[in-house]
Amino acid sequence: MRYLVLYCLFSCCLFAQDSPQYHACTEKAKAQMQLNQCAGDEAARVDGELNEVYRKVLAASADDADATAKIKAMQRAWVTYRDAYLEAMYPANNKRAEYGSIYPMDAALLTAKLTRQQVNALKDLLQGP
């Protein structure tokens, strides 16, 4: 029960940061399975943006091997952090049984949210100090 309360509160917070594509998709969705797909598409869309910005950051640092190594280490650490954060937010071993059919949607939206934060951090690197 305690997970359910936190889960519902957390789910509401995720929706405020989604793209117009996500909102268009969810307006057409008729079932939870379709909503899960919309959220998965949103996470993939944001991940594509992350990859694009990451490539730009690496290209900008291509002439500095030390900077490139540090950027790659930062990105690996972020992936580890993202995965650990998701596990901490949804600690149950059997996530579907514990959190229900909405879990894939919430996990995808949380992943998209965390990824947007990393996109912004990488954009900051492009700006420089």
How many CB atoms within 10 Å of residue 2? 6
Taking residue 82's Cβ as centre, other Cβ atoms within 10 Å add up to 16
The amino acid at residue 116 is R
Top pLDDT among 58 and 12 is at 58
Mean pLDDT, the chain, rounded, equals 89
How much is the pLDDT for 17?
65
Amino acid of residue 94: N
Rg (CA), the chain: 17
Q: What residue type is assigned to position 15 of the chain?
A: F
So what's the pLDDT on residue 10? Answer: 47
The confidence score (pLDDT) of residue 114 equals 98
Percent of the chain's residues with pLDDT above 70 = 87
Residues in contact with 109: Cβ distance below 8 Å, sequence separation at least 6, in sequence order: 11, 14, 15, 18, 39, 42, 43
Domains of the chain in start order, with CATH, are: 2-10+31-127 (1.20.1270.180)
For 48-82, how does the pLDDT look when each residue is reduced to its tens digit (9 = 90+)? 999 999 999 999 999 999 999 999 999 999 999 99
Rounded Cα–Cα distance for residues 116 and 46 (Å): 7
In the predicted model, is pLDDT for residue 41 greater than 80? Answer: yes
